[in-house]
Structure 1
């Protein structure tokens, strides 16, 4: 019997001219650099987000490595990941720990991810190397050259299973389910968690990204949406605007993404968040107190900024309008109490004529005066007592300067500011 050929060789043997696609297909990933680091006693550190999900370049390498383990260490004849012996799963976990600095609490997720890679590998073998040659059994006696490390007996067991009537029925049902999935994402190996981390780094905010925003971005291809996805994206934008204007309220599972798609959530996963998130966990978990405080602070902050802008416009017009009440204003040394600051509105709407407000009256400000939000603390940086906002000229240093601070959200009302 001649050695098992790969798909191209088999097509040529049949006298057919194989038409190659201009798109280069990805071969099996081996990750030799990870094995080299492991042999040198070096491990790749894995970073986690607030939800305990792996993110960053290290996690992308871990995902690739888990795929290597699934292809090379798990016998392909196993019909279900659940029947794979626990001893083998423990060995896979040890391999991961030998190459990566992973949190022990991530063990179940890592093993589950290897299982997902294993199912994907068997699916590819079935789709590309078995079913196309089901009427040519002589081509199915040995594994393809590309995966010649698969033991022949294991390969033949897989072939027998895939050509069985039982599998054909199961495969048909799977194709029917797959046909209903028309919104293809493109988040690659980084997943939704990695996509969210990228956005957080770009915006400088650690606030979780709404899942409908992630859902949209995951389906962008070269800055555009396909014809099937575009109507849903437009619906998401319409609903987002309606929520912002207070016309509708979205609660729990009936949020913007669910309404835009028009279908309920799958019981085993959360759309726009990845397969590791479960609906009961995601939709029934209260927001962290810090997140709620920040949202309330942001709301009050925008109200105060709007009020200040109106006062400035009134002053420019020569009207005698009352300034912000003194009880809400504190002039303080930035080195003592201002922990963090960031621009919240860029230049104000009329940045060329913004005026600073002070206890003594008004004076002309630099054209680059901007509105910033801040946290105020006493004694130590961790003892935050209030959230606020202030105006500052971006051309001068704030170190040691006395500035006007508007307290928006006091955490400790009795604090001596």
Structure 2
């Protein structure tokens, strides 16, 4: 007689889910921690490769570095904190030290690391709310998830309280509505647009085209198309517009310039601060497009206003003189 499989007791509805997630993420977490411990012990940071195109981590240790950023911020910044801007300077310096001690982060990307810490902290809080705050019946979990040992009961109570207010629910509802308006489905997976860009380069290489820099409209299209070629109607519409714009570029009818490039023209929207479509996260508008036109100083604006006022005064004088000649019947002087 075959042995019967023992049923696992689940006193807490979230325990089974926690165990499943531990099995999924545990191995990767242990690998990263072992690597980092060795790097600190030997005082030899792990060598990171930096992409020449966007100056972001790449290569076999890029995902490990991203995981370590997440581990670091979860260990030092509480989920009970309501705003990333409240993280003090010493804590930021401490976390940056742990990142640069474990991996060779180039100095010009230290600010990017700090931004990445904030980004992953916010994502972690979203994950806690979406996957761990409620059990299978929809009831609020009053104990912190066992997967995150650093969350104390007090911090969890504060987190649950802040995510149960009417203000938070209103913001969450609005965000869900905005997400529902998205007309394209992203297929880029965890690799993000960096992984999509690799696919685009391979596709171009298969066609005999070798490029150093991939235009963002190509990565945006590839990221919104599945490996089977599936696209939403909206993406298909944008793809047709891009095809027509490419012909205009070849004919010299349209010349991409700065933010007014092929993708912006096809979508009909310029980029707004905080993101750039079709490129990896962490690249700002200025980094991708370069600095925009220099804003005039206050003195320059005053000078332009004065020049315009002089021209207006001349026009008023001419108008008065013409009115005088029209009423008097005299011929206007050509000396003016």
User: Fold match, TM over 0.5?
Assistant: yes
CA contact (8 A) 2:183 2:232 kept: no
* 2:49 corresponding residue in structure 1: 47
Structure 2 equivalent of residue 225 of structure 1 = 230
Match of 2:276 among 270, 281, 292: 270
Distance (whole Å) between structure 1 residues aligned to residue 243 and residue 133 of structure 2: 44
Task: Check 1:26–1:216 CA distance in 2 against 1; reply closer, same or farther (3 A cut).
Answer: farther
Instruction: Quote the residue 1:5 is aligned against.
Output: 12
Which structure has more RCO (C-alpha within 8 Å, separation ≥ 6)? 2
RMSD: 3.2
Q: Which has the higher helix share?
A: 2
| Structure 2 equivalent of residue 182 of structure 1 | 183
Asked if the contact 2:217–2:278 (Cα under 8 Å) also holds between the matched residues in 1, the reply is yes
- Please report how far the alpha carbon of residue 30 of structure 1 lies from its aligned counterpart in structure 2 after TM superposition: 5.0
Which position in structure 1 is the counterpart of 2:288? 282
Distance in 2 between residues matched to 1:83 and 1:164, nearest whole Å: 20
Most deviating of 35-44 and 154-163: 35-44
Alpha-carbon spacing, 1:185–1:273, altered in 2? closer, same or farther (3 Å): same
The corresponding residue for 1:407 is: none
Of the structure 1 ranges 145-154 and 192-201, higher mean CA displacement relative to structure 2 is found in: 192-201
Q: Are 2:150 and 1:146 aligned?
A: no
Describe the shift of the 1:252–1:29 C-alpha distance in structure 2 as closer, same or farther (beyond 3 A): farther
- Residue 13 of structure 2 contacts residue 135 of structure 2 at CA under 8 Å; is this kept in 1? no
User: 2:255 aligned with 1:257, yes or no?
Assistant: no
Does the Cα contact within 8 Å between 1:195 and 1:214 map onto a contact in 2? yes
Structure 1 regions of 5+ residues with no counterpart?
11-19, 287-417
Q: Measure, in 1, the Cα distance between the counterparts of 2:85 and 2:171.
A: 17
Q: What is the deviation of 1:189?
A: 4.5
Is the Cα–Cα contact under 8 Å of residues 5 and 145 in structure 1 kept in the other structure?
no
Shift of 1:163: 0.3
Please give the alpha-carbon distance, in whole angstroms, between the structure 2 residues aligned to 1:132 and 1:278: 38
Structure 2: which 5+ runs fail to align? 1-9, 293-336
Give the paired residue count.
269
C-alpha deviation, 1:48, in angstroms: 1.6
Match of 1:38 in 2: 36
Report the Cα offset of residue 60 of structure 1: 2.1
1:118 to 108, 118, 121: 121
Q: 2:64 aligns with which of 50, 55, 61?
A: 61
Q: Give the distance between the partners of 2:117 and 2:288, measured in 1 at CA.
A: 23
Look up the match of 2:296: none
- Secondary structure in 2 aligned to 1:89? helix
Work out the CA distance in 2 between the residues paired with 1:131 and 1:182: 29
Residue 270 of structure 1 and its aligned partner are, at CA, apart by 1.5
1:214 is matched with which residue? 219
**Deviations, residues 297-339 of structure 1 (Å, cap 9, x unaligned):** xxxxxxxxxxxxxxxxxxxxxxxxxxxxxxxxxxxxxxxxxxx
Deviates more, 1:193-202 or 1:174-183: 193-202
Mapped pair 1:244 → 2:250: yes
Residue 206 of structure 1 deviates from its aligned partner by 6.0
Show the counterpart of 1:374. Answer: none
What does the per-residue CA deviation read over 1:45-66, in whole Å, with 9 as the maximum and x for residues that have no partner? 1122334222222222211221
Distance in 1 separating the partners of 2:75 and 2:165? 25
- For residues 81-121 of structure 1, give each alpha carbon's deviation from its aligned partner in whole angstroms, at most 9, with x where no partner exists: 11122222222112112221111221111121121111111
Higher strand share: 1
In the alignment, which residue of structure 1 is the partner of 2:329? none
Are positions 1:102 and 2:105 aligned together? yes
Structure 2 distance, partners of 1:269, 1:66, is 20
| Conserved 8 A contact 1:212-1:257 | yes
CA distance in 2, matches of 1:261, 1:109: 28
